[in-house]
Amino acid sequence: MAVSSAPPAGQPAYRPANSRYYTWEKVAPYVFISPFFILFGIFGAFPLLFAVWISLQEWKSVRANEYVGFENYARLFTDSNFHIALSNTAILGILVVPLMVIFSLSLANVLNQPIRGRVIYRTAYFLPVVTSLVVVGLLFDFLLGSPYSPLGSVLEIFDIEFKGLLEQPVFIKPSILVMILWRWVGYNMMIMLAGLQSIPHELYEAARIDGANGLQAFIHITIPLMRRVIAFAAILSTIGMFNVFEEAYMLVGPGGGTDRAGLLMGLIIYSQAFRSFNFGYASALAYANAVIIIALSFLQILASERAASD
Amino acid sequence: MSQHADAIAARAPKGPPVRTQRLTLGRVFTHACLIFALLIFVFPFYWMVSSSLKPLEDIYIVPVPLWPPRPSFSNYLEIVGLIPSDEIDFRGGVSLVRTFLNSTLIAVINTAGNVFLASLAGYAFAKLRFKGRNALFLSMLATMMIPNSVGLVPNYLIMAWLKWINTWYPLIIPGLATPFAVFWMRQYMTTVPDEMIEAARIDGCGPFSTYLRVVAPVVLPGMAALAIFSFMGHWNAFMGPLIYLNKPELYTLPLFLAVLNSFISGRPTPLHLIFTASFVSILPILLVFLFAQRYFIAGLTAGSLK
């Protein structure tokens, strides 16, 4: 791009006088964002509005539909499948979130110290995070559900009979819990580690000089300074719980397994949409799920801010 | 060199004595816990690999032997179609090779598109001034709070109207530029000093060549993290293929795995093939992870940035 003549007065010296160039500079930002915004508009933003409209319809097939008002939302109050899915997801969330925080914070806290081989530990703990959820589901399906699982061989040493856990409803939720913790603890550990590394080391030095032991330093320095990071990890886990699909699909199937003990919100939305083809009701379910997720996130942010200001 | 060594030698006696790692009870306990956790995290992988070396009958041996009694690679030959396989024929007749290539193609196109288009948009949002910039960016951020499941049914209907069911378009086109990628690239671009961009403009670079020659090289680590994140997301994606594909020749790896695991009456579940295919399917990601951990962790924990 040749700059030939001197710029006219009133314009910055570096701006070329070429008027075509000048227009391009004004238009360029819109050109740069347009591929994204076209795709995002069609497949990201428009579907959100379209879903509202769909949720007010009774869909018979891909094309035929009938306006039914808020009937699909009213159905949420009477549908036992939805109630089971919601309570299963909530129960698992109440267990997953604190356990996730405890395990990941403890591991991160240990690995934040100069321990021999910590890179190896860190890598190993992160391995499940890079594994596909379908493979995770398949592995746990066999490990927890099959009579030929190595878990059975271990339990046999203690004379405990093992025939697979996934047929019995009481064991379905604990199985999902274990699988989710296994998959995600490493991920949360990395978030916690990033947080821990931002705590100035002098604080711990000062505490040590004042005679605080490791546990006291952890309670009085680490936890208060990590409050935001912990809240962030807790919110991510909560959101994640309401979106669990792949691994549960592989472990218990789209129906949630025996007695629907593993029926989760992610599964019921999928099966209403693509097993029963109730597109309208599936969209109402998806919006109900979204409202719950957003409300819970706000509550958690509020709670952590309040705790921080105390 | 020698001056440096002298400096170290001079400093050494003055500093505090180097604390050697003594074998205290606490340290032993810590390592015992860490190793126990390590075994829990690694064992399923070990067991997947060892099962992939067993013929189907040996998977049913109880108690489970720690190492396959008759290890062989025949499962690998069977899963890629070099040995005829009833189990694969009963489940659509495509081998792992085909699905592996399908997954690779889809993931590569998506990753390339996402890195290019999202960094371009991210550059505009971070460094260019234009009307509506903040409104557009905020509207994008607002939709990111809404979970993907809301878009599930409408997207399916859009794809059906476009006659894209049983094609790869639903898996490729929407992922070419995602809000998260734009957000991530924008955050990365804000770290590029304005002076650099000004200097490029004074030197006569237009907006695009400024992006390509000046900004893109600087944000390469951010692009690498995004590329890994994006590739992994598409490589592992399951819901999309499950909804949109039912022709075996179009299957991606996760769908292929799910189909292998599906129940067909009168046939055994081909566990030996499932473990083999599972291992092969996670191997590329695992290798990239082991060699490019930094970018992996940056990309996957990106959300924790303040």
Across the range B141-161, mean pLDDT stands at 94
What pLDDT sits at residue B26? 81
Q: Are residues A32 and A95 in the same domain?
A: no
In angstroms, the separation between the Cα of residue B2 and the nearest Cα of chain A is 30
Q: For residue B82, what are its two tokens?
A: 């070099």
Mean pLDDT of chain B: 88
In angstroms, the separation between the Cα of residue A274 and the nearest Cα of chain B is 7
Q: What is the pLDDT of residues B252-275, one digit of tens each?
A: 999 999 999 988 878 888 999 999
Residue A6 pLDDT grade (very low, low, confident, very high; cuts 50, 70, 90): very low
Q: Are residues A158 and A279 in the same domain?
A: yes
What pLDDT sits at residue B294? 80
Q: Are residues A175 and A104 in the same domain?
A: yes
Across the range B24-29, mean pLDDT stands at 84
Q: Is the residue at A89 inside a domain?
A: yes
Last residue of a domain, one of A53, A72, A91: A72
Q: For residue A178, what are its two tokens?
A: 């274990």
CA distance B306 to B290: 27
Q: Are residues A61 and A83 in the same domain?
A: no
Determine phi and psi for A60, rounding to 5 degrees: -95, -35
What pLDDT sits at residue A60? 67
Which percentage of chain A shows pLDDT scores above 90?
69
Q: Give the range of the structural domain holding residue A63, as residue numbers without chain letter.
A: 19-72
Q: Which of residues 189-208 of A touch B (CB under 8 A)?
A: 190-191, 194-195
Axis crossing angle, helix A133-145 with helix B25-52, rounded to the nearest 10: 100
**Inter-residue contact B217 to B69 (CB < 8 Å):** no
A102 pLDDT more than 70: yes
- Describe chain A by its helix, strand, coil percentages, rounded to 5: 75, 0, 25
Number of domains in chain A: 2
Q: Touching check for A247 and chain B: CB below 8 Å?
A: no
Residue B18 pLDDT grade (very low, low, confident, very high; cuts 50, 70, 90): very low
Residues of chain A with Cβ-Cβ distance to B31 below 8 Å are 115-116
Q: What is the pLDDT of residues A116-138, one digit of tens each?
A: 888 999 999 999 999 999 999 99
Go through chain A and tell me how many residues it has.
310
What pLDDT sits at residue B85? 84
Which percentage of chain B shows pLDDT scores above 70?
91
Residue B86 pLDDT grade (very low, low, confident, very high; cuts 50, 70, 90): confident
Place of tokens 């009579």: A147
Q: Are residues A83 and A213 in the same domain?
A: yes
Axis crossing angle, helix A150-157 with helix A133-145, rounded to the nearest 10: 40
Q: Are residues A182 and A221 in the same domain?
A: yes
Contact partners, residue A15, CB within 8 Å, separation at least 6: A7, A22, A25, B201
CA distance B84 to B11: 70
Residues of chain B with Cβ-Cβ distance to A51 below 8 Å are 150-151, 153-154
Determine phi and psi for B289, rounding to 5 degrees: -60, -45
Q: Are residues A156 and A301 in the same domain?
A: yes
Q: How far is CA A95 from the centre of its chain?
A: 15
B10 pLDDT more than 50: no
What pLDDT sits at residue A72? 94
Q: What is the pLDDT of residues A9-55, one digit of tens each?
A: 444 445 555 566 678 888 999 999 999 999 999 999 999 999 999 99
User: Which residue does chain A place closest to B46, by CA atoms?
Assistant: A139
CA distance A223 to A203: 13
Superfamily of domain B96-304: MetI-like (1.10.3720.10)
- Domain coordinates in residue numbering, chain B: 96-304
Across the range B116-143, mean pLDDT stands at 94
Q: What is the pLDDT of residues A196-230, one digit of tens each?
A: 998 998 998 899 899 888 888 889 999 999 998 99
Q: What is the pLDDT of residues A137-190, one digit of tens each?
A: 999 999 999 989 999 888 888 988 888 889 899 999 999 999 999 999 999 999
CA distance B31 to B20: 16
Determine phi and psi for A65, rounding to 5 degrees: -150, 165
Q: How far is CA B213 from the centre of its chain?
A: 27
What pLDDT sits at residue A19? 64
In angstroms, the separation between the Cα of residue B304 and the nearest Cα of chain A is 6
Across the range B46-61, mean pLDDT stands at 93
Vertex B151 angle, CA B163 and B189, to 5° = 105
Q: Is the residue at A38 inside a domain?
A: yes
Q: Are residues A110 and A209 in the same domain?
A: yes
Contact across the interface for B124 and A33, Cβ inside 8 Å: yes
**Inter-residue contact A217 to A204 (CB < 8 Å):** yes
Q: What is the pLDDT of residues A65-79, one digit of tens each?
A: 888 889 999 999 999
Mean pLDDT of chain A: 89
Instruction: For residue A251, list its beta bridge partners.
Output: none
What pLDDT sits at residue B271? 93
Q: Is the residue at A11 inside a domain?
A: no
* Full-model pTM: 0.89
In angstroms, the separation between the Cα of residue B79 and the nearest Cα of chain A is 16
Burial class (CB in 10 A: 0-12, 13-18, 19+), B218: middle
Across the range B276-294, mean pLDDT stands at 91
Q: Are residues A228 and A122 in the same domain?
A: yes
**Inter-residue contact A137 to B278 (CB < 8 Å):** no
Question: How many Å is the Cα radius of gyration of chain B?
Answer: 26
Across the range B211-217, mean pLDDT stands at 93
Q: Are residues A236 and A220 in the same domain?
A: yes
Which percentage of chain B shows pLDDT scores above 90?
69
State the alpha helices, DSSP H only, in B12-95: 25-52, 56-59, 74-79, 86-90
Q: Helix, strand or coil for residue B265?
A: coil
Q: Are residues A105 and A195 in the same domain?
A: yes
What pLDDT sits at residue A294? 95
**Inter-residue contact A32 to B215 (CB < 8 Å):** no
Q: From residue B274, give the alpha-carbon distance in Å to each of A19, A196, B26, B39, B79.
A: 63, 40, 42, 22, 9
Q: Is the residue at A3 inside a domain?
A: no
Last residue of a domain, one of A30, A56, A72: A72
Residue type for position B274 = I
What pLDDT sits at residue B293? 83
Q: What is the CATH number of the domain that holds A296?
A: 1.10.3720.10
What pLDDT sits at residue A113? 87
Q: Are residues A61 and A97 in the same domain?
A: no
Q: How many CB atoms lie within 10 A of CB A217?
A: 18
What pLDDT sits at residue A4? 45
Residues of chain B with Cβ-Cβ distance to A124 below 8 Å are 38, 41-42
Q: Helix, strand or coil for residue B68?
A: coil
Q: What is the pLDDT of residues A234-244, one digit of tens each?
A: 999 999 999 99
Nearest to A127 among B45, B62, B148 (CB): B45
What pLDDT sits at residue A129? 93
